[in-house]
Amino acid sequence: MTETENTYHQAPDEILGAPRGCPVHQDWNPLGDDYLADPYPIAAQLRDDHPVFYAEEVGYVVVTRMEDVEEVFTNPDIYASSNVQDPLYPLDERATDVLAAPDFNPTAVMSNRAEPDHARIRVYTRKGFSKRRLRTLEDYMRERANALLDAMLDTGASNGNRAEYVKALAFPLPAEIVFRFIGFPQNDDEMIKQWCVERKAFSWGRPTPEEQIRIAEHMLTYWRYCREFTADRRDNRSDDFASELLDAHDADNNELSYIEVESIIYGLSFAGHDPVTNLLCNTLLCLLPRRDQWQALVDDPSLIPNAVEETLRFESSQIAWRRVTTQDTTLGGIDLPAGTRLFLNFASANRQPDRFDDPNTFNIHRPDASRHISFGKGIHYCLGANLAKMEAVIALELLTQRVPSLRLADVDENTYFPNITFRGPDALWVEWD
Ligand code: HEM
């Protein structure tokens, strides 16, 4: 086992400029209002102009074509994932001070851990996502989804059959599922949810100094909670992921260290629910205005899994991810020096015309919808992909069966939290007969 690595690196104060010979875009900003409102036409234009280019506003080389994104994902020796959680811009000193607390020491364990440690740890994290564990969660998922939907319909009935879907279901359901998966006690749900909101601003947005400090404080509190929880589980095992990790640690401390167990538990809470909240909303954003496709799901629920895949392609909850080059290399005909920070643009790759027929049309019957890149590819391929899809399928099964008249309300008012990666509406008002 090698030395542990810190989870977060400070964004560099000085960044490499445009590689020699690389086209430069001076204005495009993935945090710009126009891109946040509708990234797809802009992403396509950028891809058609220059498949690989340097975006001066953020200091990243942007990779827009599917073949180049896949090349990056499948060559981890050349393209490291060490920067995937790093703040986009340098942090305010006061936020850094909060995270300098001597007991804030989560270690990189999954998406930003290098080989060979990543592979060693992934043996255990993969086991945790076994089919058996997903099956044990499925009943709980249905029960909670039904209960949240009951509450949404009840409360909505006194508000003209209207409800805000994020608050009613899309946020609480994935959060509670991942907390049960880990093994957190149900009584702590509300408290933990408060600590996990806003995390996307920290690593993928541009929070104000005050926001950075608040988020850093939540991260510290949540880390301490995870440590206490792990210590408690050490003495009181149960049928959950945390207990499985502790069993593996007990079996061989060299294979999985105690701090790695604590850090996996800490890291999953965010990875495991925010993108699913977005996915649940995005399925409705795609389906509800296309009445014929919604009706097709009402009539034949067996079409739902492919509708979820098509949502992941057409309106993904994750539209970009990052890497950094470890050595001089060439990508898409552009020479990149070691240390080049890459912005992999899923929004352009998932709608590439030579990969998907008629890519700007949402089609639940698309035969190759699942060939999207939204869960990544290669050694870091999303561990929660099946869990996320199962949640989206269950939510759609219930909605199509119980509220077939569901439709969007106030759709023009959708806003998207400014960040470079995660995409889903901040709020989603729905109504029904
Ligand atoms: C729609 C929902 C989700 C999307 C779009 C998504 C997307 C991704 C992406 C793009 C990656 C990075 C792949 C790479 O770096 O090559 C990733 C990694 C990961 N995801 Fe997800 N994810 C989702 C849901 C979940 C859930 C529900 C969980 C867990 C409960 C989860 C856990 C992870 C973990 C642990 C990794 C790191 C795997 C590794 O490095 O070995 N994700 N995900």
Ligand 1 nearest-atom number relative to CA 316: 5
The rounded Å distance from CA 63 to ligand 1 centre is 20
How many Cα atoms are found within 13 Å in the side-chain-facing hemisphere of 350?
A: 28
Q: What share of the chain is helix, strand, coil (3-state, %, to 5)?
A: 50, 10, 40
Domain ranges of the chain: 24-431
% of the chain exceeding 90 in pLDDT: 85
Task: Specify the CATH number for 24-431; select among 1.10.630.10, 1.20.1260.10, 3.30.980.20, 3.40.309.10.
Answer: 1.10.630.10
Instruction: Read off the DSSP letter of residue 351.
Output: T
Does residue 13 surpass a pLDDT of 60?
A: no
Class of residue 40 by CB neighbours under 10 A (exposed 0-12, middle 13-18, buried 19+): middle
Going by C-alpha positions, the residue among 433, 362, 426 that lies closest to residue 167 is 426
Per-residue HEC secondary structure of 188-236 comes to HHHHHHHHHCCHHHHHHECCCHHHHHHHHHHHHHHHHHHHHHHHHHHHC
Residue 193's pLDDT band, with cuts at 50, 70 and 90, is confident
pLDDT tens digits, one per residue of 311-327: 999 999 999 999 999 99
Neighbours of 198 (CB within 10 A): 18
Lining residues, ligand 1, CB within 6 Å: 73, 81, 84, 110-111, 122, 178, 268, 271-272, 275-276, 279, 317-318, 321, 374-376, 378, 380-384, 387-388
In this structure, are strands 329-331 and 341-345 parallel, antiparallel, or unpaired? Answer: unpaired
Mean pLDDT of the chain, nearest integer:
93
Identify the pLDDT of residue 4.
Answer: 45
The rounded Å distance from CA 251 to ligand 1 centre is 27
pLDDT tens digits, one per residue of 416-427: 999 999 999 999
Contact 334, 358 (CB under 8 A): no
Residue 202's pLDDT band, with cuts at 50, 70 and 90, is confident
Identify the pLDDT of residue 15.
Answer: 66
pLDDT tens digits, one per residue of 359-417: 999 999 999 999 999 999 999 999 999 999 999 999 999 999 999 999 999 767 788 99
Distance of alpha carbon 161 from the chain centroid: 31
Contact 272, 174 (CB under 8 A): yes
The rounded Å distance from CA 154 to ligand 1 centre is 34
Contact 48, 139 (CB under 8 A): no
CA distance 71 to 408: 39
Distances (CA, A) of 255 to 119, 123, 128, 198: 11, 10, 15, 33
Atom 6 of ligand 1, residue of closest alpha carbon: 375
Range 164-169, long-range pairs (CB < 8 A, 24+ positions): 164/427, 164/428, 164/429, 164/430, 165/280, 165/281, 165/284, 165/428, 165/429, 165/430, 166/277, 166/281, 166/425, 166/426, 166/427, 166/428, 167/427, 169/145, 169/280, 169/395
Does residue 12 surpass a pLDDT of 90?
A: no
Ligand 1 nearest-atom number relative to CA 373: 10
Ligand 1 nearest-atom number relative to CA 177: 30
208's CB contacts (< 8 A; 6+ apart) are none
Residue 136's pLDDT band, with cuts at 50, 70 and 90, is confident
pLDDT tens digits, one per residue of 43-90: 999 999 999 999 999 999 999 999 999 999 999 999 999 999 899 888
